[in-house]
Structure 1
Amino acid sequence: MRAPTYMATLAAALFGVPATATEDACKTRYSKWMASSIISREQGIMTGEGGASEALQAGFVQKAFTALSTYYPKSAATYEQYVRKSALSATQFLSNASNDALSYPMDRLSNGNAALALSPTKGTSPYRITAEALRQSITLNRRNAENGLWYFVYPYWSYLDGMYSLGPFYTLYTLTTPSNSSSATAAALADMVYQFEILWDHTRNVSTGLLTHGYDALRDAVWADPKTGASPYVWGRSLGWYTMALLDTIEILDKEEAPSKYKTPLLEKFQALIPAVIKNVDPNTGGWWQIVDQGEREGNYIESSATAMFSYSLLKGVRLGYLPSKLAPTATKLGTQAQKLLTDTFVVKEADGTLGYNGTVAVCSLNSTATFEYYVGQPILYNSVLGSAAYLLASLEVERLG
């Protein structure tokens, strides 16, 4: 089947509109349109050939589609089916705890939420096996002398990036697995909060309120600050991962009625971080820079995945009541403007009816010089699902506004 015919059929199924759907028919449902485009590209399906970030791509798609199915119940079956397909593909690669801890960054844990949702609390389903392996991989994950988790194989280095996957899964597993004793539950939740805190303590710049990409506990890396071990630059997407991690973890703690002592420190960080994010929005475009606090420094640019992540965080933070009421109007305005910027500037309406997505930087690693030139010199990818899934989530929050 040729792509235009396939996409016309898919558009009719997802949007409930004729195959010749116009832009006007879909303009308030860009989340669904982008979801259908991700499906058509078969993104978020692990094949073993997508490199170390493949697990994150799968987990991010699962999370985005799960949110979409909740808000659009009439289309939920389509999204839930794709979540199952993605989660099942992940079970082929993420079912051995020791291998998981060595072969994939902490981002692997983003697959855990769907694995939990798709499996009973006990048994031998592939989803449950994966959920248990992922949880065990946290225990096996290497740590530095301060008990901070290594992000990957780079010795003693911790990244903001991993918290998006660790925080929500660690919390959800701990609060929904009956076999945990009260002491084990308390220890796991305390450890989860601690991982947020140690990154905050090492990477936060008190003058800007922003967090840099990560830190080296040994202070040996070429980029490490001699006192804190922090890397020197605020990479937009890593800060976006951390911001979303705070927000989504707080939401789970609320839903599962966890003791407030676990929510409070995360909420305080979210409420302290968001004003700094707002302060660093580009006033001319309404987006956020690749290096967030470097403004119009030559070579810097507005990056589409980070902009989508901040749009989502601002809007969802207001919706869930996690931001002070006096900040809500500004947060809503900026979040909405950012999603519009993305739609107008980075979304590409393809001839076959799909939406393309541009302006997303490739993976940036601290296994580098971590200089300004390194960050702004990394390739820009077309249709990176790390950008398009973030855009889906931001668009969904705009659609929730009505």
Structure 2
Amino acid sequence: MHASIYIATLVATLFGVPATATGDSCKLYSQWMASSIISREQGIMTGAGGSSEALQAGFVQKAFTALSAYYPNKASTYEPYIQKSAFSTTHFLSNASYNALSYPMDRLSNGNAVLALSRANGTSPYRITAEALRQSITLNRRNSENGLWYFVYPYWSYLDGMYSLGPFYSLYTLTTPSKNSSAAAAALDDMVYQFDILWEHTYNASTGLLTHGYDALRKAVWADQVTGASPYVWGRSLGWYTMALLDTIETLDKEKAPSKYRTSLLEKFQTLIPAVIKNVDSETGGWWQVVDQAEREGNYIESSATAMFSYSLLKGVRLGYLPSELATTAINLGTRAQKLLTDSFVVKEADGTISYNGTVAVCSLNSTATYEVSLFALELIPTVTSAV
């Protein structure tokens, strides 16, 4: 999935990391990246951007929503762009049957903004789209264990989709009036179950990490014949899942959901973070493309996964979701990763905007999923107009 610039924006939002280059000392990278995105009109769905376009829009909305919360004096800049991005999605995501089949689960990342822009019983394009996105979860194809297919790949479930599914599924269920309390409980149970079944199939007890996904039929060339799991830990996929746990727990807490729904997710987050910490590269402070294959030939420090893990560490401490004995380490590693990102991966363009470097373009299981295939798609120099 393509989301590197948006990840950088959201991560920089945590502490408003200042730029350090001469002449840039008064700028915050988060705001600088946001203005760059606006100038390029990224995160606006046009229908010409392929299946990842919905994720790009949803991620911009979430990043800009966080920016508005942290910098309310800038809300008048970011909120209209959130609305512009969300409105653009209503042309493509308001038909449940179509978007359930034509876009990956990442489409659901747009759900938070369209919910915020609509009234619970309204008939605005935003509410229609929110309802369609929710219905698309019900229509989404599932395997024999009731696990959601990530996209059109038969019976394959990826970690990636949970970042979009978990927060929206929770927020919709907890904020939409319903006369059927059992249906709402079933929806929250299903949300937690999707985290659980991915964990069950992809968790490796020896590393403490999760591989990219699994094939419920065990027919893919890469599938483990016992678990169905893919063979490698892709950094960004693990990053999506880690952030998904964190943001879903936050949503459950804000909406005062029964504690039983957060318990399983919090346990996973607190189990996963020590393994993430263990696999940081001690020399650079970043994380590898194939996370548990440090310094293997061809492997490289991958910037979007590094951003995601930095986000998870710093926000996990800020919200109190990590035990106190991990807090200092998490803060140190998270801030060190921020410095690596801003010093080594932010690209200052001639027109005064910034873009992002050193991220893998995409890593799909729709292949042999060998180690070599997991490495080949590095974006060395993304153009400012690319749909990163």
Structure 2 length as normaliser, TM-score? 0.92
Seen in structure 2, the aligned counterparts of structure 1 residues 53 and 384 have a Cα distance that, compared at 3 Å, is farther
Aligned position for 1:161:
160
Q: Does 1:310 align with 2:302?
A: no
Q: Does 1:44 align with 2:43?
A: yes
Aligned position for 2:349:
350
Structure 2 counterpart of 1:24, one-letter code: S
Aligned partner of residue 204 in structure 2, secondary structure: coil
C-alpha distance in 2, partners of 1:305/1:271? 21
Structure 2 counterpart of 1:117, one-letter code: A
Aligned partner of residue 92 in structure 2, secondary structure: coil
C-alpha distance in 2, partners of 1:35/1:133? 28
How far off its partner does 1:191 sit? 0.3
Seen in structure 2, the aligned counterparts of structure 1 residues 388 and 72 have a Cα distance that, compared at 3 Å, is farther
C-alpha distance in 1, partners of 2:218/2:366? 14
Seen in structure 2, the aligned counterparts of structure 1 residues 174 and 180 have a Cα distance that, compared at 3 Å, is farther
How far off its partner does 1:388 sit? 11
Structure 2 counterpart of 1:104, one-letter code: Y
Aligned partner of residue 284 in structure 1, secondary structure: coil
Aligned position for 2:339:
340
Q: Does 1:252 align with 2:286?
A: no
C-alpha distance in 2, partners of 1:55/1:180? 31
Aligned partner of residue 294 in structure 1, secondary structure: coil
1:146-225 alignment to 2 at 5 Å? 146-179=145-178, 181-225=180-224
Aligned partner of residue 158 in structure 1, secondary structure: strand
Aligned position for 2:284:
285
Q: Does 1:378 align with 2:377?
A: yes
Could you report, residue by residue, the CA deviation over 1:322-368 in whole angstroms, capped at 9, with x for unpaired residues? 00001000000000000100100000122221112111111211111
How far off its partner does 1:180 sit? 5.0
1:87-98 alignment to 2 at 5 Å? 87-98=86-97
How far off its partner does 1:185 sit? 1.0
C-alpha distance in 2, partners of 1:319/1:180? 36
Q: Which runs of 5+ in 2 are unaligned?
A: 1-15, 17-21
Seen in structure 2, the aligned counterparts of structure 1 residues 76 and 180 have a Cα distance that, compared at 3 Å, is farther
**Alignment RMSD (CA, Å):** 1.6
C-alpha distance in 1, partners of 2:168/2:382? 26
Seen in structure 2, the aligned counterparts of structure 1 residues 330 and 137 have a Cα distance that, compared at 3 Å, is same
- Contact 2:49–2:387 at 8 Å: present in 1 too? no
Aligned partner of residue 363 in structure 1, secondary structure: coil
- Contact 1:202–1:229 at 8 Å: present in 2 too? yes
Could you report, residue by residue, the CA deviation over 1:167-195 in whole angstroms, capped at 9, with x for unpaired residues? 00000000000025211111000000000
Q: Does 1:25 align with 2:21?
A: no
C-alpha distance in 2, partners of 1:318/1:40? 33
C-alpha distance in 1, partners of 2:209/2:310? 16
Aligned position for 2:10:
none
- Contact 1:34–1:388 at 8 Å: present in 2 too? no
Seen in structure 2, the aligned counterparts of structure 1 residues 161 and 180 have a Cα distance that, compared at 3 Å, is farther
C-alpha distance in 2, partners of 1:334/1:174? 35
Structure 1 counterpart of 2:319, one-letter code: L
Could you report, residue by residue, the CA deviation over 1:277-303 in whole angstroms, capped at 9, with x for unpaired residues? 000000000000000000000110011
Aligned position for 1:328:
327
Aligned partner of residue 240 in structure 1, secondary structure: helix
C-alpha distance in 2, partners of 1:245/1:356? 24
- Tell me the percent identity: 81
Aligned position for 1:100:
99
Aligned position for 1:62:
61
Could you report, residue by residue, the CA deviation over 1:357-394 in whole angstroms, capped at 9, with x for unpaired residues? 11111121111111110011114164589x999xxxxx
Segment of structure 1 superposing worse, 359-368 or 251-260: 359-368
C-alpha distance in 1, partners of 2:203/2:171? 27
Aligned partner of residue 41 in structure 2, secondary structure: coil
Could you report, residue by residue, the CA deviation over 1:35-76 in whole angstroms, capped at 9, with x for unpaired residues? 111111111111111111110011011000000000100001
- Contact 1:288–1:302 at 8 Å: present in 2 too? yes
How far off its partner does 1:123 sit? 2.1
Seen in structure 2, the aligned counterparts of structure 1 residues 379 and 80 have a Cα distance that, compared at 3 Å, is same
How far off its partner does 1:111 sit? 0.4
Structure 2 counterpart of 1:354, one-letter code: T
Seen in structure 2, the aligned counterparts of structure 1 residues 320 and 118 have a Cα distance that, compared at 3 Å, is same
Aligned position for 1:237:
236
Runs of 4+ that moved beyond 6 A: none
Aligned position for 1:7:
none
Aligned position for 1:392:
none
Aligned position for 2:52:
53
Aligned position for 1:86:
85
C-alpha distance in 2, partners of 1:353/1:104? 34
- Contact 1:287–1:302 at 8 Å: present in 2 too? yes
Aligned position for 2:117:
118
C-alpha distance in 2, partners of 1:324/1:350? 41
Pairs aligned (count): 367
Structure 2 counterpart of 1:302, one-letter code: I
C-alpha distance in 2, partners of 1:228/1:89? 40
C-alpha distance in 2, partners of 1:360/1:180? 46
- Contact 1:362–1:381 at 8 Å: present in 2 too? no
C-alpha distance in 2, partners of 1:326/1:207? 22
Aligned position for 1:6:
none
Seen in structure 2, the aligned counterparts of structure 1 residues 382 and 164 have a Cα distance that, compared at 3 Å, is farther
- Contact 2:298–2:375 at 8 Å: present in 1 too? yes
Q: Which runs of 5+ in 1 are unaligned?
A: 1-14, 16-20, 390-402
